[in-house]
A and B are shown apart, each in its own frame.
Chain A
Amino acid sequence: MTTPAIARDAPDAGSDEWTLITRTIAGDRTSARTLYDRHAKRVHRLVYRICGDEELSCDLTQDVFVRAFGQLAKFRGDAAFTTWLHRIAVTTALNQMRKVKRIRAHEEALGDDDHHAAPAREADPDLKERLSAAIDALPEGLRMTVVLHDVEGYTHGEIGEMLGVAEGTSKARLFEARAKLRVALADFA
């Protein structure tokens, strides 16, 4: 039986979580279910914020947990379990979105400013909705960064790991994303 080399002092790899992970690897469904119950809503919200579709989010959340349980023995505890799990979630959701983007390339280019331009103020005067539309209008890399940092609260280091970019790149993207948002919402100054 392979046991995960989880660092005992990892942020959320407490003894309880450690026990659940070990038992899940050993095939204990109850422990797996407990882990799922603890994290599923958060994972679901994360993938929903990436893909924006309820049904797809449920599907992706299931994919995330199937993948995570399948790879649990490889979890070394270098990061918190939550971070590790959310990294799988982001990767899974992004891969799915890229497939969708390829399939729909002839219909619209996701992340293209021209196609996702925020609606005119007259059409949608609500600032929160305008903000959401402006975030959605950002190119994918910028949108992911602003969602993960400003909305989900991840650090640039964590975002860098999730997206496979340098920490500095994440910071630069956030700067650029905010600049674009300020421009998009300029008439609300």
Chain B
Amino acid sequence: MTDEKLQSLMHEAKHTYRVPADPPLDAMWSRIEREHFDGVTAAPTLQANGHVNGRARRWLAPLLAIAATLAIGVGIGRFTAPAARAVAELPAARDASGPAATNGSDPLQRATSEYIDETVALLASLPRDSIATLVGGNAKFVAQASLLLATTRLLMDSPAASDPQLRDLLEDLELVLAQVARLRTTPRAEELTFIAEAMDQRDVVPRLRTVAASLSVSGY
């Protein structure tokens, strides 16, 4: 390769090396305006490698805490709880021993309750047909879904999954969250529609709300 040939190639590289598509300038401006002029912290975003940035860590912290609590809870449960114990049965057990004795003493159920709240919030806010307003936001859903997916799998491997109803729900959630978690690159509108249809067909959100209400009534 001669110097002249390389120079010619480099000249072409000005027009061929990593040429990006047109950026969504208006959507990008919205965040700049909010942050600079309104002092509003940006929505969390995901980096190219799938890791979240500093802003994202703020909202991810509670999710990570839930996952950590679940992991510990599952570990403790495996050693101490009867294998057949299910989260659905826990309210009765708590009633028998009194709220004071159980509130905060069952990290698994507390984490389950928080997990369900987070999942309801995520799925209820997932856009159904357009990502036009979600520059950066789609990354937020992906990151949240990835963590919730990991938590779902932890729960499926916990005593909570011995309850058939909850297990069915967890299996459906695993499917839906896995779909959301795969929206790493620019998703097409039909992908979102497909996810929305999967949720509708399985009544995922109503079932989640039922479980959330049940846990809420039982003190969590």
Are the CB atoms of A48 and B135 closer together than 8 Å? no
Asked if B165 is at the interface (CB within 8 A of a chain A CB), the reply is: no
B53 partner residues in chain A, CB cutoff 8 A? 59
A100 partner residues in chain B, CB cutoff 8 A? 47-49, 51
B105 partner residues in chain A, CB cutoff 8 A? none
Are the CB atoms of B29 and A58 closer together than 8 Å? no
Shortest CB-to-CB span from A78 to chain B, Å, is 23
Are the CB atoms of B36 and A61 closer together than 8 Å? no
Q: Annotate B41-64 by CB proximity to A: 1 below 8 A, 0 otherwise.
A: 010011111010100000000000
A100 to B1, CA, bound (A): 33
A27 to B185, CA, bound (A): 35
Asked if A65 is at the interface (CB within 8 A of a chain B CB), the reply is: yes
Asked if B167 is at the interface (CB within 8 A of a chain A CB), the reply is: no
Asked if B82 is at the interface (CB within 8 A of a chain A CB), the reply is: no
Are the CB atoms of A54 and B20 closer together than 8 Å? yes
Are the CB atoms of B135 and A58 closer together than 8 Å? yes
Are the CB atoms of A44 and B10 closer together than 8 Å? no
Partner of A131, one of B17, B19, B32: B17
A37 to B25, CA, bound (A): 8
Most buried by A among B9, B12, B42: B9
Q: Which of B156-171 contact A (CB under 8 A)?
A: none
Are the CB atoms of A33 and B35 closer together than 8 Å? no
Are the CB atoms of A181 and B17 closer together than 8 Å? no
A178 to B139, CA, bound (A): 37
Are the CB atoms of B1 and A59 closer together than 8 Å? no
Shortest CB-to-CB span from A35 to chain B, Å, is 11
Total interface residues in chain A, CB < 8 Å: 51
A59 to B42, CA, bound (A): 10
A29 to B197, CA, bound (A): 41
A32 to B17, CA, bound (A): 30
Are the CB atoms of B1 and A185 closer together than 8 Å? yes
A45 to B25, CA, bound (A): 12
Asked if B16 is at the interface (CB within 8 A of a chain A CB), the reply is: yes
Shortest CB-to-CB span from A43 to chain B, Å, is 9
Asked if A7 is at the interface (CB within 8 A of a chain B CB), the reply is: no
A188 and chain B: residue at smallest CB distance: B1
B5 partner residues in chain A, CB cutoff 8 A? 188-189
B37 and chain A: residue at smallest CB distance: A29
User: Which residues of B line the A interface, CB within 8 A?
Assistant: 1-3, 5-6, 9-10, 12-14, 16-25, 28-29, 31-33, 35-37, 42, 45-49, 51, 53, 135-136, 139, 185-186
User: Which residues of A line the B interface, CB within 8 A?
Assistant: 27, 29, 32-33, 36-37, 40-41, 44-45, 48-49, 51-59, 61-62, 65-66, 69-70, 96, 99-100, 103-104, 127-128, 131-132, 135, 146-147, 150-153, 178, 181-183, 185-186, 188-189
Q: A51-B48, A66-B42, A185-B9 are in contact. List 10 more A-B contacts (CB 8 A).
A: A32-B32, A32-B33, A41-B23, A55-B45, A62-B35, A62-B136, A103-B49, A153-B14, A178-B3, A181-B6
